[in-house]
Homo-oligomer: A and B are copies of this chain.
Amino acid sequence: LVGDDAARFVHFGATSQDVVDTAAMLVAKRALALVLADTDGVAAACAELARSYRTTAAAGRTLLQQAVPITFGLRAASWLVLVLDARRSLRGVELAAQLGGAAGTLAPLGEHGPEVLRHYAAALELVEPTLAWHANRSRVAELGGALDLAAGTFAKIALDVALLSQPEVAEVAEGEGGGSSTMPQKRNPVGSTLARACAALARAQAQVLAAGVGQQELERAAGAWHAEWDALSGALAYAGGAAAAVRGVVEGLEVDAERMERNLYETVLAERLAFLLAERHGREAAHELLAKAAASGRPLREALAGELPDEELDEALDPTTYLGSAGAFVDRALTRYEEES
């Protein structure tokens, strides 16, 4: 294919692993670009959510229990920061050319080894390594690790979405949630489910790569290198799958700000009011008042008017008294996002 003059230099000096490793890095480069594009999409959508819901109060949840109020914007900003961290790792991965010949000396090239390596790496737009890395696989493991962290990042967002989509919580819903022919009320978090499955599989591949680092016998390994082939393509594919799935999830996310407020009022803020009402009316009466207010379907502020001094009521329900620096933290995340984009 190459033609007469050039043909005899094909594979000249290079060992098969030089060719396979370099090809793998070229493939990884293209695949990473796709993963990064979806990661950018996730970041953009999270930034948009952080901006849009910067002041939307919601219940913060720790150990799966309601804790103190946050904003949904802060939660999205927190996703954003995690995605920015993952993107930084992915961008920082060094994809190097491989050229060492049978055992790293590039013997057939005489003393021209380093020069040929330089041109070779430059022509392929890959990093020029210090030495051949036939048995130095931490750079591959690092790529796997970055893909794993990215996939884990997407899985965390997916987990949050799945939890917030539970019908009893119902604060968000996937735009393209899967229906069920036999259970029409269901709206399955299918994108989140897919992302979590992909992340589990990406992690397994990354573990093969990490485990291989210490199992490289001498100049080239008898097995640990060969296990990388499937593992690396798997890690790229599954991390990409997780990225694409979560991108779909966050870009199409339906956010029910009203339900967030209701959930918050029903638990976290009711707690505050119960405390104030009890001080004034006694515990039992306080309980009754709250129950009546809740059943009325009207905003708590309105339904409880008169039961507490206006200023106490205002303060108890004033977001600025319980949201701390949520807004400032959202802004920090957005600033970083803009700086890194």
Contact = CB atoms under 8 A, between A and B. Distances in A.
Given A65-B187, A136-B78, A210-B206, A106 B218 contact: no
B60 A218 contact: yes
B68 A183 contact: yes
B324 A197 contact: no
Contacts of A263: 168
Interface of A: 60-71, 74-75, 77-78, 81-82, 84-86, 89, 101-114, 129-136, 138-139, 141-142, 145, 148-149, 151-156, 158-160, 162-169, 180, 182-190, 192-201, 203-208, 210-227, 229-231, 263, 267-268, 271, 295, 297, 322-326, 328-329, 332-333, 336
B63 A162 contact: yes
A158 to B, nearest CB: 7
Integer count of this chain's copies in the complex: 4
A321 B216 CA distance: 28
Contact of A152 (B138, B204, B225): B138
Contacts of A152: 138, 141, 210-214
A70 B210 contact: no
B149 A213 contact: yes
B208 A200 contact: yes
A104 B74 contact: yes
B136 A85 contact: yes
A211 B203 contact: yes
